[in-house]
Structure 1
Amino acid sequence: MPELCRFLGIVIQMYFNDHMPPHFHAIYNDLEGVFELSTFEMLEGNLPARVKGLVVEWATLHKQDLLDNWISLTNTGEYKKIDPLV
C-alpha cells in the first residue's frame, strides 16, 4: 500500500484499486482509521481524538492532492507524495 505522507507518527496510505467510496487510511501506532475523501468522516477504525483531528486538519489542506492520488492510483497505479503537516 503506497505511503502518501508521514507526520507526527501518523502514516497516510491508499490502496491500489480500493473499494468505493474514495478514502484513505491513517495509521497511528497499532491503530487505524479510514477516512472518506469528500467529508473526511472516519468511516471505520479507532484513533485518539487528537490524532483524528490532526488527520482531518492535514486532509483539509491537501484535499485535491488526495483526490488526484485516488484517481491516479485507480487508473495507473501511480501516486505522488503529499507534504506533511507542519
Structure 2
Amino acid sequence: MPTISMFYGIIIRMYREIGGQHKIPHIHAEYQGEEVVVSLEGDALEGGIPKKKQSLVVAWVNIHYDDLLANWNLLEKGEKTFTIEPLK
C-alpha cells in the first residue's frame, strides 16, 4: 500500500480497492497498529485510532482535500499517487 504522508506517528495511505466496500473517496490512517478509514469529507467510515490522533487526521484531510481528491482521481485511472505534505 502506498504511503502518501506521515506525521506524528500516523501513516496515511490511499490505494485502489477494486470492488472495495468503501465506494467514496477515502484514506486509511494507521497509528500504533490501529486503523481508521476516513472519507475526504472527514467522516470516519470504519475503525478508529485514539481521538486526538484521529482529530489530527481529519484536520489534515480538510487542509489537503484538493490534493487528496487529485490522488483519488489518479487511482481511479490506475495511475500512481503522489505524496502530500505532512501536518506540521
TM-score, normalised relative to structure 2? 0.90
Report deviation, 1:73: 1.3
Other-structure match for 1:58:
60
Other-structure match for 2:31:
28
Which residue identity is paired with 1:54?
A: L
In the alignment, the residues of structure 2 paired with residue 23 and residue 61 of structure 1 have an alpha-carbon distance, to the nearest angstrom, of: 14
Structure 1 residue runs of 4+, over 3 Å off?
none
In the alignment, the residues of structure 2 paired with residue 79 and residue 8 of structure 1 have an alpha-carbon distance, to the nearest angstrom, of: 21
Match of 2:82, SS state, is: coil
Other-structure match for 1:77:
79
Report deviation, 1:17: 4.1
TM-score, normalised relative to structure 1? 0.92
Match of 1:47, SS state, is: coil
Count of aligned residue pairs for this structure pair: 85
Instruction: Tell me the percent identity.
Output: 40
List runs of 5+ in structure 1 lacking aligned partners: none
Q: Deviations over 1:24-80 (max 9, x none)?
A: 10000110000011x210001021110110001111110000000011012032111
Other-structure match for 1:42:
44
| Contact 1:17/1:73 (<8 A) preserved | no
